[in-house]
Structure 1
């Protein structure tokens, strides 16, 4: 019971749980030396609820060592905290200063009909697969960095800073719960003695510098899905910056948020908004709805009373369906889950529970309302669970998305698919390019992704012509507060600015204020895109970091630098006996026919991280298991084998017929060509030369990086 504005208010509260791992590390600096601390945080401190008789009210408090948190009543936000000098357990309750909304200045999608390249992929086709993704709790392992100014605003106290961040994460979860997603704090770093990177007013530059710091200093230290930097200064026009689709990627799992005020709930909404961008969620348009709110959370104007919209949900589950968010399906094994009382129905499997289907248990096929598996069910959720049964050992549960990606397989015992793995950054791909974050950084593919086939990276002259202009269509850096001009690319960095494409046959769906430019080049055109008006999402018209720019060099934040920045440190010819590649954990992923861990003996391939690779027959059935079949008995196996025969035989006959027709056609052409008086040698030479892409003066192949 609380006294608010002269009225007694009864609070109804429920424990929210602990959104952090056990003894998560906190790094700070002492005399320039990085040291690690383990904060002692009480369990089950965070509670959430409402005020009795006040519709739309919201309460989120930390009850350990007094009451500390946020209360919302009739659009008024209150902060409550204990009076430390009081001996009578007294608290102070005060209204939070007006900070009605935050902004990231992102142009909305335009209309309900606008679709990006991602959106054209559509929703998951299999209703069961979509239902599985929605019912499965997702976990975002977040690392939080606090800059020196914000640390000072928290009284230059490590304990107070850690407590404040823990409270922010708890509030952020009140937003992400709408996506059945938990944000779990896995670690913190507090810049207690100054910032190791520049923190200019322009958050776009701060994001790039922070991401570079993250890759150099944090990636090898602690596993995380995303890392967010909290700064204390006011950035001006927008308070947040994030990499779109950055979560789970090795290269862009970062965001920056400004916290120059003390409105904790609004800042938590901002953090959830920027995290949404990391999870593939774009800005809302006018057709997006969220429980009759005027603005939804992913609107360009962020309000603390909002939530994720139907559009946000579609974007997020498309992100998962495209296997970009595979890391979110891995439950943190070291997450704190001790509670005073396990609560069945909260969507989280705890203690004695075999499953927890949340509020949808009445219609769940595998889990009953008492959080026990139904009769005959082996599992309820997970990529290795299908129709309440654990998929067979060796069944593919996460297919490759790119030549730099690696597959994962079920182990036959668990409903969970192994954590996503991919080839180590710096591995060669497509002859001369490099892998980074599980994707081959081939500029041809980047052009195809924007403009569709057969678009490819333009000749060298196009890059030189465009990126030396120093304007919105050709540059190596956007205007900042410190420098109001576009950066002109130097001769060395000309392939690291704007992505210039050619052979464009189809134009992408262009959003408002985005612009395409075409410049004539011979018989073709040089194409460039300016999309910089989205200020909290980096310009996707730029060349991606990790892209090849010269022999033994890659692009990194507009600079053509040595490929060693990718930190490739594996020799598969030694570690894997030349029979495999190194994955992102520096373990061998063996070729078919060889066994992990060192590929020195016979086996079915894979790695110690991928799960056991099935026999060829099992692998053939994996596609059916993934998209609509479950083989748990001999009868089921025979049924699926019959489906394979029924499907494969007609396809084989059609292909055979096409091959025969093609051979007959080619034979007639040859007969015509060798007839007296005809000659085709010169035209053949011309056609062979016309299709060759420009080469930037590089050899056709290079040895692996050392």
Structure 2
């Protein structure tokens, strides 16, 4: 009897132990899978860094200043996602920041403070899932892995739960349905010059045109963050910088598909208050930012395009507005609603408005793109747009062939390469505000031909005129004016002053003069 009791006791202890193990497993699963208000269930993973170091990487693993890089040029991480092993193949993003990148903010007393971070090395990577060509990845490795990737048409966010790249991370399924698409459209009404027939066959292009199409293209972007955006992050410049760099990395995932690199040349943060009236009416805010941009060009970093990111919401469901066909001109601006801390949704709007700047129109919502959702879809959503439609690519090709915006071909110059700028060669080089050619060639009223510096406000435009008008430009057929490397005439200015409005169901294409009323 005693023996039987002992056996029963042993069986009971074993059963209790099994129950304990089962309870621990259940608890572990409960901890590993959670849910947040903005995102769906997430899975806890432990990335495994794979060794892929090559000889060329050892030789090239240096910064432009000859110092050893902290972040490797190429990385691979293996993770187990939904029971499947996948490998993130990542390459360090090129030209994410200009070598002479600056940040401007303001003290509480209104003093302008501009800093130039020295030897600023970034930790941002683009890539894909290994052996899955249609996947994309945009990842930061600064303190663990943080970013966005796609796998089997599903979108994921990865965030570190600890501070290193091989400890626990949360992989979250991105919820694409959280935004009402019906209230986020981009209406377009065509005015001004008619669009001519668009050639899609490149065989019709001349060798010179082919060279221009095949050349590497770069856009220097200036971002201006309004006071509401600054306050949204409680004035934490580190958090602001991290968010903006994440957005820039995602933006390049999109624009690399058309062989365009978008480099951040600088950030201006209105930390002490807005420099313009930022109001719910998108057109009014656009008009105010346009005038501010023109008035302050002389003291700003040289750039090809500027975007205002506003922490305020715009009315009528509109989320953005941009001047079309305007790259490299004084009117090359856009205003963007950025009131939510959602980098994927924000980059969707930024990339869409930049597409209008590059001559692309909206496309119907049913338009198919080679690798997923279309950037220029008339409905703007939280879905990450990965590609441009055939129609938009054709419009972009026509734009760069007809306008030939030379700033597109100006690659960032590494800090350790010292070149001697030559004033008067019609090339914008380091230390120059403008270059309109020789004194005889120059017809730019704002550029001093002898010094390649912008003239003062009074000398440039006169005391009674507040902004550039058509009279400032030569008639078509006459000499062209160079502004920051872009040559344009009167009709080009007309085109550059067209505005695209993102969001809302009303007509969204108007002239600046109409907005001024």
TM-score of Structure 1 vs Structure 2, range by shorter chain: 0.5 to 0.7
8 Å CA contact 1:25, 1:187 repeated in 2? yes
Deviation at 1:154, TM superposition (A): 3.0
CA-to-aligned-CA distance 1:122-179 (integer Å, 9 cap, x gap): 6785332332122101111100011222223334211221122122111111111122
Alignment of 1:90-239 (within 5 A): 90-98=168-176, 99=178, 105-107=185-187, 117-120=194-197, 126-235=205-314, 236-239=316-319
Deviation at 1:93, TM superposition (A): 3.1
Alignment of 1:101-500 (within 5 A): 105-107=185-187, 117-120=194-197, 126-235=205-314, 236-250=316-330, 252-285=331-364, 289-291=368-370, 293=372, 295-302=373-380, 303-323=383-403, 325-334=405-414, 426=461, 433-435=471-473, 438=481
Match of 1:45 in 2: 123
Q: 3-state SS of the aligned residue for 1:143? A: strand
Q: Give the whole-Å Cα distance in 1 for the aligned partners of 2:395 and 2:297.
A: 28
Name which of structure 1's ranges 75-84 and 265-274 shifts more when overlaid on structure 2: 75-84
CA-to-aligned-CA distance 1:583-622 (integer Å, 9 cap, x gap): xxxxxxxxxxxxxxxxxxxxxxxxxxxxxxxxxxxxxxxx
Q: Give the whole-Å Cα distance in 2 for the aligned partners of 1:26 and 1:264.
A: 20
Q: Give the whole-Å Cα distance in 1 for the aligned partners of 2:404 and 2:111.
A: 36
8 Å CA contact 1:241, 1:255 repeated in 2? yes
Match of 1:690 in 2: none
8 Å CA contact 1:101, 1:301 repeated in 2? no
C-alpha change, 1:336 and 1:100, in structure 2 (3 Å) is farther
8 Å CA contact 2:309, 2:337 repeated in 1? yes
8 Å CA contact 1:68, 1:80 repeated in 2? yes
Q: Does 1:64 align with 2:136?
A: no
Q: Give the whole-Å Cα distance in 2 for the aligned partners of 1:220 and 1:42.
A: 23
8 Å CA contact 1:158, 1:190 repeated in 2? no
Q: Give the whole-Å Cα distance in 1 for the aligned partners of 2:282 and 2:377.
A: 19
CA-to-aligned-CA distance 1:316-339 (integer Å, 9 cap, x gap): 2222222352221222324799xx
Q: Give the whole-Å Cα distance in 1 for the aligned partners of 2:272 and 2:205.
A: 53
8 Å CA contact 1:106, 1:283 repeated in 2? yes
CA-to-aligned-CA distance 1:494-552 (integer Å, 9 cap, x gap): xxxxxxxxxxxxxxxxxxxxxxxxxxxxxxxxxxxxxx9542x4x13x648xxxxxxxx
C-alpha change, 1:328 and 1:163, in structure 2 (3 Å) is same
Q: Give the whole-Å Cα distance in 1 for the aligned partners of 2:107 and 2:492.
A: 47
8 Å CA contact 1:249, 1:438 repeated in 2? no
Q: Give the whole-Å Cα distance in 1 for the aligned partners of 2:119 and 2:150.
A: 26
8 Å CA contact 1:69, 1:79 repeated in 2? yes
Match of 2:102 in 1: 25
Return the TM-score normalized by structure 1. Answer: 0.47
Aligned CA RMSD, in angstroms, stands at: 4.3
Name which of structure 1's ranges 114-123 and 265-274 shifts more when overlaid on structure 2: 114-123
Name which of structure 1's ranges 258-267 and 137-146 shifts more when overlaid on structure 2: 258-267
Q: 3-state SS of the aligned residue for 2:384? A: coil
8 Å CA contact 1:147, 1:191 repeated in 2? yes
Alignment of 1:540-619 (within 5 A): 540=511, 543=513, 558=516
Of 89, 96, 111 in structure 2, the residue corresponding to residue 12 of structure 1 is: 89
Q: 3-state SS of the aligned residue for 1:322? A: helix
8 Å CA contact 1:104, 1:301 repeated in 2? yes
Q: Give the whole-Å Cα distance in 2 for the aligned partners of 1:447 and 1:179.
A: 23
C-alpha change, 1:433 and 1:109, in structure 2 (3 Å) is closer
Deviation at 1:558, TM superposition (A): 2.9
Which sections of structure 2, spanning at least 5 residues, go unmatched? 1-77, 418-425, 428-436, 446-451, 475-479, 484-489, 496-504
Q: 3-state SS of the aligned residue for 1:312? A: helix
C-alpha change, 1:334 and 1:215, in structure 2 (3 Å) is farther
Q: 3-state SS of the aligned residue for 2:99? A: coil
8 Å CA contact 2:128, 2:135 repeated in 1? yes
Deviation at 1:300, TM superposition (A): 1.0
User: Matched residue pairs, number?
Assistant: 379
Q: Give the whole-Å Cα distance in 2 for the aligned partners of 1:104 and 1:208.
A: 21
Q: Give the whole-Å Cα distance in 1 for the aligned partners of 2:223 and 2:275.
A: 15
C-alpha change, 1:206 and 1:115, in structure 2 (3 Å) is closer
Q: Give the whole-Å Cα distance in 2 for the aligned partners of 1:173 and 1:222.
A: 21
Return the TM-score normalized by structure 2. Answer: 0.62
Match of 1:575 in 2: none
8 Å CA contact 2:145, 2:165 repeated in 1? no
Deviation at 1:82, TM superposition (A): 2.9
Of 130, 153, 157 in structure 2, the residue corresponding to residue 79 of structure 1 is: 157
